[in-house]
A and B are shown apart, each in its own frame.
Chain A
Amino acid sequence: MNKIKDKLIFFFFLLSGLIVVMLLAGIFYLLGSTSIHAFKEISLKQFFFSDNWNPNAYGEPSYGIVSMIVSTFMVTIGSLVIAVPLGIGTAAYLSDIASEKVREIVKPVIEILAAIPSVVIGFLGIVLIGPIVAKIFHIQSGLNAVNGSILLAVMALPTIISLSEDALTAVPNTYTEASLALGATKWQTLVKVKIPAALSGILASCMLGMGRAVGETMTVLMATGCAPAMPHSFLDSVRTLTSSIAIELGEVAYFSTHYYALFAVGLVLFIITFIINLASDIILHNYQKVYN
């Protein structure tokens, strides 16, 4: 009897594991098999090297995604420029400077920040950050890459802070003591011993934050203006891979070239986020190996 129960439980867990793997494979297959139709009519050269995305043009529609990729990387890198220093600074404050009480209050609060719906952040972008950006840079509309970067930074911060703080706290206390005993200040110990020792954990947290920023849709859709043109500066309106799919997929004719092209955009996005997550996973894994 027990043997059968044991077997059943085993199969239940095996099945759960298989379902998740199959889901991932299924999504990948769906994206791949659908987007392949796009390339019957669009040349790979146009898709990956043209910056003109105009599927509804009379006569010659154009399907170049360069401007979207550039837009995606602009807001992502912009957000990292803001979120990485701020995130590591906050993590260092929490792990090394803040008292136990402050840490116990602040850390959960930061983690709750991750639970704010992206549409709310986008809303803040439209009514608050956008106008401020417009005022500072003396431009007509604040719905641009800077605005998107700031909002994505807010969304990436909880991940970066929380995981970096974990990484810094995991640095063995013996390193800190050794450094202090040599006459190092707290600051020197943090910068020259603790941060280097926690570096892979910190890097992984930044990569995960980056993954979040790349895949984020609603916020950038609302707050970056979404002009489908090549951006020339951070004060230009941008349209990311995600917001293009969100805007257009609802109104596209099924099984048209445009429809297939949007799936191909989705595939590109999937591959980008997959690579980022894989890279952070590898870094994190190596990091755990060092300490165990």
Chain B
Amino acid sequence: MDRLKICVEDFNFYYGNVQALKNISMNVYKNSVVGIIGPSGCGKSTFLRSLNRMNDVINNVRVEGNVFIDGKNIFGSNVDVVDVRKKVGMVFQKSNPFPKTIFENVAYGLRINGIKDKKYIASKVERSLMDAALWDEVKDRLNESAFALSGGQQQRLCIARALAVEPDILLMDEPASALDPTSTAKIEELIQELKSNYTILIVTHNMQQAARISDMTAFFMLGELIEFDQTGTIFTRPKKKITEDYITGRFG
């Protein structure tokens, strides 16, 4: 029943001469949630940002190896990075709505795709805000500035904005780290609901969060993928000592 969505093969990533990711191989199946954990600077974010080629915006980086999404190598020579990013949405650590209205934030992705049909845009914005569990809170104030929302609402707005483009995969880089517990709970609940339609990779510093929401967990350290398995296995019977040490909080 599971279908291979993302296949990473011997992936290496360099910032100048510094190797940030070493020989990463990983298979991610459709409609699963993958939690990525590991100490700061271990390459989790770099790995995540490689999957939609967001690292391209940084100067002087180099990659080796392959990342196949639906069987197609996203680092292939004739791949348009814009197409990759439409397929692989991203939610950042710090909520980053545009200085536009709530409506325009969500409509942005549609407009840049050349969609002009106002009715379609309005219905898509509504749908996306509903999917991001924000619609009821903002339906009467769509024309207000996105900055008028609370931090948690802004982050859900960013999720809605990403959903509007209809990606298959959603990358989340510590999406709840700057939020209060209530907002965090809402985002976690949302991830569970989104799972049925999307494949989700989420970087988190919070191990309980990884245990709660993910099906698979990947443990990174010093640029290496130490262990990747079912979340239950990682948290109860990790194969490697170092994973166990990290999970039990012996270092971090």
Residues of B contacting A100 with CB < 8 Å?
59
**A185-B82, A192-B108, A192-B112 known; A179 vs B98 contact (CB < 8 Å):** yes
**For window 180-237 of chain A, which residues contact chain B by CB distance below 8 Å?**
180-185, 188, 192-193, 196-197
Shortest 8 CB-CB distances between A and B: which pairs?
A183-B86, A174-B96, A181-B90, A183-B85, A182-B109, A184-B112, A178-B96, A188-B112
Which residues of chain A are within 8 angstroms of B90 by Cβ–Cβ distance?
181
Smallest CB–CB gap between A178 and chain B, Å?
5
Complex alpha-carbon distance, A213 and B33, angstroms: 60
Write the A161-182 contact mask toward B (1 if CB under 8 angstroms, else 0): 0000000000010111111111
Q: How far is the CB of B129 from chain A (nearest CB, A)?
A: 16
Chain B residue nearest in CB terms to A193: B98
Contacts of A179 in B (CB 8 A): 98, 108, 112
Contact A174 B92 (CB under 8 A): yes
Residues on the A chain within 8 Å of B52, using CB? 181
The smallest C-beta distance from A287 to any residue of chain B, in angstroms, reads: 11
A-B contact pairs, 22 of them (CB 8 A): A174-B94, A174-B96, A175-B98, A177-B57, A178-B98, A178-B158, A179-B98, A180-B57, A181-B52, A181-B54, A181-B85, A181-B89, A182-B85, A182-B86, A182-B112, A183-B83, A183-B113, A184-B82, A184-B109, A185-B82, A192-B108, A193-B108
Identity of the chain A residue whose Cβ is nearest the Cβ of B82 in the assembled complex: A183
Q: Kindly provide the distance from the CB of B114 to the nearest chain A CB, expressed in whole angstroms.
A: 10
Does B99 contact A177, Cβ atoms closer than 8 Å? no
Task: List the B side residues contacting A181 at CB < 8 Å.
Answer: 52, 54, 85, 89-90, 92, 162
Interface presence of B161 (CB below 8 A): yes
Contact B99 A182 (CB under 8 A): no
The tally of CB-CB contacts under 8 A between chains A and B is 66
Tell me the B84-102 residues at the A interface (CB within 8 Å).
85-86, 89-90, 92, 94, 96-100
Q: How far is the CB of B88 from chain A (nearest CB, A)?
A: 8
User: Is B132 an interface residue, CB under 8 A from the partner?
Assistant: no
- Residues of B at the A interface (CB closer than 8 Å) are 52, 54, 57, 59, 82-83, 85-86, 89-90, 92, 94, 96-100, 108-109, 111-113, 158, 161-162, 165
Q: Indicate if the CB atoms of B82 and A178 lie closer than 8 Å.
A: no
Given A174-B92, A177-B92, A192-B112; A182-B165 close (CB under 8 Å) = yes
A220 to B101, CA, bound (A): 45
CA gap between A182 and B112 in the complex, in Å: 9
**In whole Å, how far is A283's beta carbon from the nearest beta carbon of chain B?**
15
7 extra A-B contacts, CB within 8 A, seeds A175-B96, A178-B98: A176-B57, A178-B92, A180-B85, A182-B109, A182-B165, A183-B109, A185-B82
Given A174-B92, A178-B158, are A183 and B165 also a contact pair (CB < 8 Å)?
yes
A57 at the interface (CB under 8 A from B): no
Contact partners of A176 in chain B: CB under 8 A: 57
Chain A, residue nearest B85 (CB):
A183
A69 to B83, CA, bound (A): 54
CB distance from B55 to the nearest CB of A (A): 11
> How far is B98's CA from A290's CA once the two chains are assembled, in angstroms?
12
Q: Which residues of B contact A183 (CB under 8 A)?
A: 82-83, 85-86, 109, 112-113, 165
